[in-house]
Amino acid sequence: MGDTTIIGSGEMGSALARALLRGGFSVTVWNRTTAKAEALVEEGATLAASAAAAVSASPIVIVCVSNYAATRELLQTPAVAEALAGRVLVQLSTGTPKEARELGAWARARGADYVDGAILAWPRQIGGPSAVILVSGEAPALARAEVALRCLAGGLTPMGAELGSSAALFAAVLAYLAMRWIGICHGARICEAEGLGVAGFGEVLAGLAGALAEDARHMGEVIATGRFDRPESTLATAGGDVARLVQHAEEAGIDAEVPRFAASLFRRAIAAGYGAEEHAALVKVLRKAGGAASRAARSDAAGWGDAAVNDLQDM
């Protein structure tokens, strides 16, 4: 029986398989489109003839396909579901906390151990020290998969037994990243409109990375403790700066959608009376829009290890 099976030979699944091969693992691969998995065979992997055969081939079965719907489509055939019994299923496709909990319950009902993971890395980082993979699951399940998972990510970060935790933290990080990508693109349009080099803009942002990481840590602490009353810069000051971005976009004739969206949130916060507080008080407007702080409070109380927190803040 091989060491590890990787189901899915897309960009990320292939990177996972290559890292395990480099680490000396015996790797079985399967992909819906066989040609992509064949490239890995040339590098030492064994190609399974079917998804069921791939699951049967190894005690550790890692799935990395587009999403949970694709995962369920390929796992829920009777032959695959039966083959899962006694193995540890590691789901590394991206999904929501609810999807993670549901897939975990389904796998456990079929006699499999279950680990739910979320990859906070690009394929090029997989197998190296900067790759972060968040993992949730019962300790015995994590212990069975740990050696393989450590080979995939130097920053392997256990999140505890609650199966939705990894997907939840991934979603929180992605929310940050998505706004950052959009912000960089609007900043690039400002540079283009004003005759500044966009590559130089990227360099300036890279130089600010340490200060931005410190701001992320500071905002996390302020929101978690509710101490919004000691601003270095008030929400009203930041809101004025953001409103000026709308003015600039209109003056420069560039798309104003991004700054208008940001300015409207700040306007609502100032209208709600938070103008004299820290800019992190913007979260109060989002709390009023729906949802509660209860799950966030639970995560803070759970107390992630320092290493995990540092890994995440360095991203």
Interface with ligand NAP (CB under 6 A), residue from 74, 107, 151, 283: 74
**Within 13 A of 220's CA, how many CA atoms are on the CB side?**
16
Q: Which residue of the chain is nearest ligand NAP when measured via CB? A: 10
Within positions 28 to 57, which residues make up the interface with ligand NAP, using CB under 6 A?
A: 31-33, 36
Q: By CB under 6 A, is residue 64 in contact with ligand NAP?
A: yes
Distance CA 170, CA 117 (A): 9
Interface with ligand NAP (CB under 6 A), residue from 65, 152, 242, 249: 65
Q: What share of the chain is helix, strand, coil (3-state, %, to 5)?
A: 60, 10, 30
Within positions 181 to 200, which residues make up the interface with ligand NAP, using CB under 6 A?
A: none
Characterize 97-109 residue by residue with b for buried, 16 or more Cβ atoms within 10 angstroms of its Cβ, and e for exposed.
Answer: bebbbbbbebbee
Determine the interface stretch with ligand NAP among 26-34, 212-220, 228-236, 280-288 (rule: CB under 6 A).
26-34
Size of the site for ligand NAP (CB under 6 A): 22
Interface with ligand NAP (CB under 6 A), residue from 44, 59, 123, 160: 123
Within positions 78 to 97, which residues make up the interface with ligand NAP, using CB under 6 A?
A: 93-94
Q: By CB under 6 A, is residue 23 in contact with ligand NAP?
A: no
Distance CA 127, CA 184 (A): 28
Q: Note the helical H segments in 153-208.
A: 165-194, 198-207
Distance CA 20, CA 27 (A): 7
Which residues sit at the interface with ligand NAP, rule CB under 6 A? 8-13, 31-33, 36, 64-67, 70, 73-74, 93-94, 119, 122-123
